[in-house]
């Protein structure tokens, strides 16, 4: 497996991802301007949405982000082992045997039920330490968390835990990226009613957080004490419907090189399944990228790439490691640069286009760019 840096500054493969750290820095600062005096927890799960977990975490620490959010324990451990000292919340569910590792690496645990909260308290006591947790309230997502209508009992039980520090309480929106925010507002009201517990009991309040990228843009009343930008940080809007209150730009460019040029004779077929036949003698090039890299097979006969400032169609079924591009009557040479996501002057291909060709969402496109594709960082 490749790490998110290139050893000895060598390009290991002609297919690579370039990440513009200056762009991510600008996006971060634009989000900060929008949210005002609110803490920020950039979400770096799934290899920082394909941008490279460790390097982006170092940038977030440099930018003085208040927290980092990841999905699984292993992501948090990797960051600690690479010298990241910022508070890290693991957003996903946990197994009991993972709790000692959370404590060893000073990671904040999502406590999503009373039984798990008690288990965290018990193990922390056995290890003579304190566990930091964020209590998860389910306001309508139906994944993790105690249902909002049972939240009072959850909070009461947390007060009994002697070895747990409740650092935060949070929930998650189901559709804050949509133009219809009816259900999001219902979720917000449920959360507001739940956290009234702290006022009723005259208790010190932990950090409350709810807003993801969609809510940051459309529901500022959900920002509370901290926001959790994910896709927005990397310069991609969560949907086409969303109100774009902040200007962000994509930070990721996916590139490759021409490795073979050929002339395909009329009526010859291309690729597995012989799904494309040349209508006439056609010039074509082979590019060393495929679904093994995250270039989805479902984009076959739809995808386009940029070569020499012009868009060309991918023909034939996308293979695990290679694609064929029809360049018609134009010329290309081995070593010519090919852009899969990105732009060349006025010609661009967006992650949203790939998502449309693949029948999926931009999140899946970015997070599926395989770790065998080297990441190269630019300032």
- The set of catalytic residues is 45, 272
Angstrom CA distances, 23 to 14, 27, 258, 273, 302, stand at 23, 6, 27, 41, 29
Query: In 3D, which of 209, 207, 223, 219 has the Cα closest to residue 176?
Result: 219
Angstrom CA distances, 179 to 31, 46, 97, 149, 243, stand at 20, 27, 42, 27, 8
Q: What is the largest CA-CA distance in the chain?
A: 80
Query: In 3D, which of 123, 132, 128 has the Cα closest to residue 105?
Result: 132
Buried b (16+ CB within 10 A) or exposed e, 101-111: ebbebebbbbb
- Kind and range of the H or E run holding 311: strand 310-315
By the 8 A CB rule, do 88 and 52 touch? Answer: no
d(CA 226, CA 213): 12
- Kind and range of the H or E run holding 282: strand 282-287
CA angle 334, 339, 342 (to 5 degrees): 160
Query: In 3D, which of 168, 311, 337 has the Cα closest to residue 256?
Result: 337
Angstrom CA distances, 64 to 39, 41, 187, stand at 10, 10, 30
């Amino acid at each position: 497996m490749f790490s998110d840096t290139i050893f000895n500054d060598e390009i290991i493969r002609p297919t690579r991802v370039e990440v513009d750290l200056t762009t991510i820095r600008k996006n971060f600062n634009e989000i900060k301007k929008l949210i005002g005096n609110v803490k920020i927890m950039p979400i770096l799960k799934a290899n920082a949405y394909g941008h490279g977990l460790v390097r982006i975490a170092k940038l977030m620490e440099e930018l003085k982000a208040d927290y980092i959010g990841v999905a699984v324990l292993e992501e948090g451990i990797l960051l600690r082992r690479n010298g990241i000292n910022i508070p890290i919340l693991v957003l996903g569910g946990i197994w009991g045997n993972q709790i000692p590792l959370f404590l060893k690496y000073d990671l904040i645990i999502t406590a999503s039920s009373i039984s798990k909260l008690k288990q965290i308290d018990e193990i922390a006591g056995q290890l003579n330490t304190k566990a930091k947790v964020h209590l998860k309230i389910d306001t309508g997502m139906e994944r993790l968390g105690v249902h909002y209508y049972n939240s009072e009992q959850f909070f009461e039980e947390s007060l009994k835990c002697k070895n747990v520090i409740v650092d935060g309480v949070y929930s998650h929106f189901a559709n804050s990226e949509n133009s219809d925010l009816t259900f999001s507002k219902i979720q917000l009201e449920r959360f507001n009613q739940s956290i009234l517990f702290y006022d009723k009991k005259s208790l010190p309040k932990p950090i409350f957080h709810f807003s993801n990228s969609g809510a940051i843009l459309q529901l500022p009343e959900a920002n509370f004490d901290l926001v959790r930008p994910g896709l927005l940080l990397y310069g991609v809007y969560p949907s086409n419907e969303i109100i774009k209150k902040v200007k962000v730009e994509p930070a990721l460019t996916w590139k490759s090189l021409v490795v073979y040029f050929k002339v395909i004779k009329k009526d010859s077929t291309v690729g597995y399944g012989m799904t494309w036949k040349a209508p006439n003698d056609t010039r074509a090039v082979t590019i060393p990228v495929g679904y093994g890299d995250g270039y989805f097979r479902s984009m076959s006969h739809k995808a386009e790439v940029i070569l020499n400032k012009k868009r060309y169609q991918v023909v034939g079924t996308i293979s695990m490691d290679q694609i064929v591009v029809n360049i018609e009557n134009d010329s290309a040479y081995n070593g010519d640069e090919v852009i899969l996501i990105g732009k060349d002057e006025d010609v661009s291909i967006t992650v949203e286009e790939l998502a449309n060709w693949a029948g999926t969402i931009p999140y899946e496109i970015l997070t599926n760019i395989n770790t065998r594709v080297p990441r190269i960082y630019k300032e």
